[in-house]
Structures are given as C-alpha cells and as structure tokens.
Chain A
Amino acid sequence: MTFTPTDYLPYDFANRRHIGPSPAEMQDMLAVVGANDLDGLIDDTLPGNIRQKAPLDFGKPLTERALLHHMKTVAEKNKVLTSLIGQGYYGTVTPPAIQRNILENPAWYTAYTPYQPEISQGRLEALLNFQTMVSDLTGLNIANASLLDEATACAEAMTMAQRVSKSKAMKFFVDEHCHPQNIAVMKTRAAPLGIEVIVGSPDDLNAAEVFGAIFQFPGTTGHLRDFTDQIAALHDNKGIGIISADPLSLTLFKEPGAMGADIAVGSTQRFGVPVGYGGPHAAYMATHEKMARNMPGRIVGVSIDSHGNKAYRLSLQTREQHIRREKATSNVCTAQALLAVMAGFYAVFHGPEGLKAIAQRIHRKTVRLAKGLEDGGFTIDQADGFFDTITVNVGDQQDAIMRRAVENGVNLRAVGGDTIGISVDELTRRDTTEAVWRAFNVERTDTNFTHGYRLPDALARSTSYLTHPIFHLNRSETEMMRYMRRLADRDLALDRAMIPLGSCTMKLNSAAEMMPVTWDEFSLLHPYVPKDQAAGYHHMIDDLSQKLCDVTGYDAISMQPNSGAQGEYAGLLSIASYHRENGEDHRNVCLIPMNAHGTNPASAQMVGWKVVAVKCNDRGDIDLDDFRTKAAEYAEHLAACMITYPSTHGVFEETVIDVCKITHENGGQVYIDGANMNAMVGLSRPGDLGGDVSHLNLHKTFCIPHGGGGPGMGPIGVKAHLIKHLPGDPNTGTGAVSAAPFGSPSLLPISWAYCLMMGGEGLTQATRVAILNANYIAKRLEGAYDVLYKGPTGRVAHECIIDTRPFADSAHVTVDDIAKRLIDCGFHAPTMSWPVAGTLMIEPTESESKAELDRFCDAMLAIRAEIAQIEAGEIDAENNPLKNAPHTMEDLVRDWDRPYSRETGCFPPGAFRVDKYWPSVNRVDNVWGDRNLTCTCPPMDDYLEAAE
C-alpha cells in the first residue's frame, strides 16, 4: 500500500473552523472582485499610512483540544469556596434543563437583538415572560427586558427619576443600606450631571430637598423596613421613590408597588444565573405605565400581524439612541437578553409555589444559622427579623473569624470593623452552616430543625403573583424542554443562517470557546472574593489584556464596562478626569461626525458635554474642512472628538490621522469607537492612528455571542496618560461604571480562547477574509444595486451599504419590504436604514463560506428581479411577494387569492426546500403596538387561538 502524506491540517482552528471560505474558494472570490491575491486586495483597501508596522504575534496557536486542556489548568488556579458574602450576588441552582437547553444552546445564544420581530417571536415571548415575572413580583405594571447590572439599573433609575420628577431639586437621596457598588456607580453617574448624592439613613430623609430617593430591600446588611412613609413624603414634594429589591425576597415580602414606589430595580441573578465572578446577569427595572416612555432599555410589547394575529415586538423604539441621539433617555442599548431569558425560564420552571418554597427554605436555613450563633453567645443586628442576610456582632474577633471561615471553605463579608455579614442562599447545605458555626467557634450539628420563622408580620406580602398560566403549564421537564424547543424554533439565529447585520459582526461563536463558561471554576466565583482565590481569572485577564493592547496599540485595558455604550461612557469619563487633573475642567465640547453611532452623542451627553456635529462629505467621509473649522472654533472648550474607524459607512478614510492631529492640536482627546474593529485586527491599530481611548466590542470582534440581545462586553483601551483615570473598583474605589470590578468576567474565556486558538496570524487572516467577503458581496450585487461609499480604489471595508431608496419611487418598494422578503429566503435582514435611511448595510464576517454568501447574493438578486417586475408593471404594486412578505405556513394553507404562485411566494431563491425556515407570524404592525402598549403576557385565550 502506498501512503501519500497530506498537508491538510484538520486541527487548524483559524483556517479550517473559524474562517468560512476555503483557500480554493478564496481564489474564485478574488477573481470575482478583480484582485490577484488577498494581499493585493488588502493593499487596495487600506491606505498605506494607517497600516501597522509589525505583524501580530501571539506565538503558536492552540488546537481546540490543547486550548481546553490549557483552559482547565488556568481554571483550576481559581479556588472555589462557598461564598456567603451576599451583597447582591447569591448562590443559585441553575436547573440543568435551562443550562443545557438555553445557556449552552446556540439557537438561543447566537441570536441577535430582536429588531426583526417576525424571526424573533421565540425569544420575544421568553423576554415577555421575564417582564411579566418582574412586573408581578414588583407590583409595577411595566417592566423592561433587562439592564446591564443592578448598580447600572440604580443609576438609570436615578436619571429617570430626574426626567419624570416635576421637582426642580438637584439632590438625590441614597439609602445608606444600599449595596456599596450601587452607591459607587450612582455617584459616578451623578457627578457630571450636576446631581448631588446624599447618602444617609431613611429616617433622616428630607423629602423637600430632593427630586427622588432610592432604598434597598433587604438592606445590604440584611435590614428589612417598610418605605411607605418615606415614599409618601417624596410624593408630597413631587419626588420619585425608587426601591432596589431582591426579587426572590418579594415572593414573601411586601412588594415595591405596595409601598408606593414609582420605580423598582434589582438583579435577577439568583434566578438560576451563576455569579460568574461578577457577571453577566440580568438586572430589571419596572415602573408605572404613565412613566413607561421615560424608562431606559428595551421593552417587549404585544402587537398584531397583518392577519390580525397576536405578535410580539420591541416597543417604543423611538426612545433609542439611533433616533434620539443626544436627546435619548440613556445610552443603554444592550440588554442582558440571554440571562433574562434564563431568569424568566427559572420562574416558568418553578412557578410561584416553587419560588416561594425556595425563598422559605433559604429563610429557614438562615434562622437555623442565626439561632446557632445566638446560642453560641453572639448577637445579630436583625433582631426584628430578616430574610436571608444577617449581621453578627463579633467585636475584635472579625479577622480571626474571617480567617477561620476561609479555612473551613467559606467566604463571609467583613462589615465595618466589628461585624460580619452572612447571606444564605439556594446552595447552602447543612455542612455549610456547620462550617460557619465552626468559624465562630460554635460546635454543633445542624439538625434541619427549624426554629420558626423570623419574618416581620407587617411586611408580609398580601398579593398574588405569577398567576398567568405560562407559569403553571410547564412544570414537568418534558413539557419544559418542549416549550424551550418550540420557542427556539420560531427564531432565526446563526445556527440556521448568516446574519449579515452591518456593524454587528455576527461571526462564529465556536463551541470550544463557549465550553469553559459553564465550568464551576469560572461560574461559581463571587465577585468580591479575596484576590488569591481568583488567580486563574487574574492570569486570564492579564494575558487577554496584553493581547488586546497588542491588537489596539494601547497601554492598558479596563475590563469593567459591560457593553459598548458603557465603554464609550467610561472612556469619556476618563478623558474628563484627565482634563480635570490638568486644570482644564471647562473643556466640555465633543465633536462628533454626523454618521456616528447614536450612542456616541448619548454618551457625551451623559458626561455633561455639549455635542457639536461635524459634516460628512458626499463620499460619506468626515468633512475635514468642517472638522478643522469646528475644532478651531471650539478650541478653548474642546474636550474630545468621537470617531469610528473604519467609518460607519464602511470605508477606511485616509484622513483619520489628520483628524486625530487636529483634535490634539486644539487640546482635545481622541475617542475611536471600536465597533468596526473586525476590519482592523492585525492590519491597523487605533492607538497608532492617534487614538487616546477606544472601546472594544468583545461581543462582536472577539466572539462573545450576542445572546439574542446581550450579554456584551465593552472593555476600553487607553494610552498611558489615561491609565490612572480608568474606572475604579466598585466595592472600594471611585469612578466605577459597573457593579463588578471586571464587568462580566465569566465571558472572558470566550475571547481569550479565540485569541489563543487563532494566533496573531489567524486573527489577521480573519480580518483579511472579512474584507474579502464584504467586497465579494459588493461585487456580486453591483449593477443590481448601487453600493454607496467605496474607498478611492473602489473597495469597501468589512461591510457595504446598498441603496434601496430608488425603489420607493420606481416600484413603491421600501427597505422594510426587502428585509421582510429576505425572511422568505431564509435570511436575517442586514442592518436597515443605518447609517443612511433607506439603505441596507451588509456585514458578512469572515466566518461565512462562499456557498452561504452565494445563497445570500442569489436571494438579493432574485428580489431585485421582483422589483424590476413591479417597475415594469408585470406584477401589482401593492399585491406582490415583497409587500406580502414574510409568507407564513398559514398563508400557504389559506385560500390563495394572490397574483403570484404559492411557490413564488414561499420558496424564492435562497430558501431551502426541506429545511425551509417558516416565520411564525406575518408582518408585524408597529403602529398598533405603540398605540396599544401591552408589556406583560397577554391572556391565555390568545395562546389557544394561536395554537388552533
């Protein structure tokens, strides 16, 4: 037998797994775009003056197997003790059915934000369940679909209170029993807005001098109190009352709505989402209906489709930054969709009785623990009653007890100098309780015998919750599994088709990258454990930071921001702090080009700056003359400019270095938005172009999945002079922007694994292929559609914009019609009407193969042919496949009275015959939904009708 060795490398992650087109396919594609080789295309596309000098080099890339082995050795450096620290983070049991079917299921984690409702009905229903749960538990009738973390939610509630309050006061009261990280983040947010934060005891609240107040329930050290009187006093003075509440406690205690609160916030982490050294978790916010339009974040609402059937959608979109810009209610655009979905399913899985049982069991364990300590001679602060948290008076024994606790495998919380806080949770077992007693030198056995309840009667909850049938139907795992599957099947995620959303970088989230996320060593660490217990995390964070510095040309990274928008905000805060240090506090003007992401002006507004818009020229580039004029005009007050590179129009502008230089010459700092970093990695570095700070969307360029609308991570890179102005530790420092020091660190194994398996060369190749794929699509669609904004050599960067505006006149076809028709072809639409109204922005990423790109181009060309038929008068301008899109199974079986065939309607080019994706609803009516706001689960009859 002869044996011919092959040069095929089956474990080459970069070229065989992550990058879509094969080398042979790339040759064919290069021929189509008219380039000799990939180097030639890249040289054509990127101006020479922006290219990075040295190639990116991370050493030899790891195979998947080697990566997982390496990851395990690093993970094992983390010491997983039982943490009873509490302070907003609690042990919880993730039901295995939810872990396997949601958290580890690409149908859920690779989906995008549900902006296209027809292909998102599954997760919209799951998020509506979450909203209904929050609304019921808090007793406030409108909830949003989650916020980044509890501390951010508190800060958002504070600014919302200022918007809705009729009081002119500039002070805001913060209960001293709020979690320290909540207070820290609110202080950061308040300062640039001129809000004075008063921290004190609710007994000392002077309602006349504040526009609002926030209280914590239970208090951070376990105190329970009724805030009804304080909130009534606030209302008498036109103020707003906010309660930050542990949702599990609300199954037993009087809810915020019953105390008169206008806004409730909190974290749903303990609803089955592991602590993960700080995140990600879903925070919640709920309010009265009359304040709904001032609530930040996304809200899922109920509307109808074109047949009048119930359909879900995101409501009140016009409050968002891409429309309101600097007048937006907040810069928040990421939610924590995947985690909110998990928390919602936790409630569906357990139902109201189950949640109440969990809360009662936690309380009984706390009672036993407290009784043991009291019998041992200790006193606790919460003599009147508690839920899950107690504070023990230990005098001068604090250090000794804390140390003995760690020796017994338990982390407790040192509070002040002479007390220790203990929070019991769902994971607490008898041996945990006994270990705590041993730390206090109390020798006894936990008999499981409960010494009664110690819940104050006056605070008992008297209203029902989770009464909707959805929280009662799916109790068996069989039913639950099928329910999760049904919802997943309604959605179109990356596990079915390319999601060519411009500016969103929907690339592969590989299985090997995802696996470590659910390992105990990463998922069970409390964010405030002693640093020596998190050595694995710190090793990973340090190494990933170094790699991100190499990629960007910056000197340091802060992992704290939990989203791109929060990164922008943190970056601008560091610039503001730098100016302040230099005695230039008056610098408050931010130059932002017209084509910037809407979050840019919203973020500038949040740091108290004035936005000055800079024009773009016909090619879509920054108008350099206008930039120079404005920079000079505002030189004395220039704080910063915010630019995106390559531009939001998908072009590598040659003038970027001049823009940075002009800004610096006029005393400003340069913020380069990293949203388009997927076009730069390995080829060009924002730090070299002249940037002082940038954020990186790890959920775009570095493979963290979008989760159906979150989680995200937006760490920032800065030059050396800004390092000391980075966000401080939320628990001990100042300037924090998130609740946890490293944001959502349990996501970092994904980005780290990506870098380790790709290597520097692989990352660079990914960028090159991303540019090739975009240029291939632009070339194939040329002639049929106009491609807007090419570079001087006729190339686009990693995305391209096609113009659909001419069809409005020629065929009465809108960008919406094309987007919905793409659903019939089995695709998620590209980004619609951004950054230019009436256009589609297409970003294929490097992960899509030639076959999938061709399927997409074939679909787009077929749609263009349909438009041509309308233009020629061959088909009706109002009753045609575009206007009636998307087509559902229901259309197919109804009487067919259309001037085109069922085949044409339902199976256009691109659509799979056997594996056809059927949207579950027809086109959703946005107007109806915004005029008839419903943001909780509709009555059960509607579900039954849908099933019939």
Chain B
Amino acid sequence: MKFTEEHEWLRVEGDHVVVGITEHATTQLGDIVFVELPEVGDTVVKDDEICVIESVKAASDIMAPIDGEIVEVNSALEDNPALANEDAIGDGWFFKIKPSDASQMDGYMDEAAYNAMIA
C-alpha cells in the first residue's frame, strides 16, 4: 500500500488501483455524513478534486492521486457514509482507477513513512 500527504491510500489490485482515505483522516474528520463520488468512466488528472466528503465538522475534497480512468466507485458509501469511519482501508474504499501512468505511484510513501508523518 502507498500513502499520500493528503491522507489517501492506494492499493494495487491487478490492473486497477483502489483509493480510499486513511483511518487517521477519518478520525480527524469525525463522523462522515455524506460522500459524493466521481462517475465511472471519468478521466481524471492527478491532483484534480474529484470527490467531496462531508463530516459534521468539515467538508473536504479528495484528489485524484494519479492520472487515469475511474472504473468503479463504492456506491455503498453513498447509502452508508459511516463505512469510511468503520473500515477506512477495507469496505470504506472510494473509487478504483485504471492508471495511465502507474509510475506516478512511486513517489508516494509506504506505511512506515506515513505513520512517521502523522506521528
């Protein structure tokens, strides 16, 4: 798994990259009440704001960590945004990207580096 400074995680699954936000981020945000997901088929560019999450405390944007095409979104989150709080790196995933340049992931942190950053 890779981690960004924006508290997103990336996990490679075959040709696709699954993206979500870290448990540290969901703890900071508090109870998440709403998630607006991108549309399947959207072409996204790294650092584009493609997703909105709202908690009772804050509204934040989630950025595309890499270039590519959105191939799947976690619609379960729309009905039950609490999933992101309950299982941030599992059932609380946000979207899957088919990367156009997988090497963009190389710059991101590993788990140890991320844990050091938030410590």
Contact = CB atoms under 8 A, between A and B. Distances in A.
Contact of B59 (A319, A926, A927): A319
A318 B61 contact: no
Interface residues of B, number: 14
A316 B54 contact: yes
B81 A931 contact: yes
Contacts of B61: 327
Contacts of A319: 54, 59
Interface in A352-366: none
A154 B81 CA distance: 32
Given A293-B36, A316-B54, A931 B82 contact: yes
B54 A930 contact: yes
A237 to B, nearest CB: 17
Contacts of A32: none
A198 B55 CA distance: 38
A318 B82 contact: no
B51 to A, nearest CB: 13
B36 A318 contact: no
Q: Categorize the interface residue count of chain A.
A: 10 to 19
Contact of B56 (A293, A324, A327, A926): A926
B58 A293 contact: no
B58 A323 contact: yes
B71 interface: no
B45 interface: no
A930 B59 contact: no
A323 B34 CA distance: 15
B81 A318 contact: no
Given A293-B54, A316-B54, A324 B59 contact: yes
Binding site secondary structure of chain A: helix
Contacts of B57: 318, 323
Contacts of A926: 56
Binding site secondary structure of chain B: strand
Residue among B34, B55, B58 facing the most chain A CB atoms (10 A cut-off): B34
A927 B33 contact: yes
Residue among A316, A327, A931 facing the most chain B CB atoms (10 A cut-off): A931
Interface in B31-66: 31, 33-34, 36, 52, 54-59, 61
Contacts of B58: 318, 323
Contacts of B81: 931
Interface in B92-106: none
Contacts of A927: 31, 33, 56
A387 B55 CA distance: 46
Nearest to A292: B34
B35 to A, nearest CB: 11
A293 B52 CA distance: 11
Nearest to A329: B59
Contacts of B56: 317-318, 926-927, 930
Interface in A305-329: 316-319, 323-324, 327
Interface in A892-947: 926-927, 930-931
A288 to B, nearest CB: 15
Nearest to B79: A931
A908 B52 CA distance: 43
A318 B54 contact: yes
26 contacts: A293-B34, A293-B36, A293-B52, A293-B54, A316-B54, A317-B56, A318-B55, A318-B56, A318-B57, A318-B58, A318-B59, A319-B54, A319-B59, A323-B57, A323-B58, A323-B59, A324-B59, A327-B59, A327-B61, A926-B56, A930-B33, A930-B34, A930-B56, A931-B33, A931-B81, A931-B82
Given A323-B58, A930-B33, 17 more contacts: A293-B36, A316-B54, A317-B56, A318-B54, A318-B55, A318-B56, A318-B57, A318-B58, A318-B59, A319-B54, A323-B59, A327-B59, A927-B33, A927-B56, A930-B34, A931-B34, A931-B82
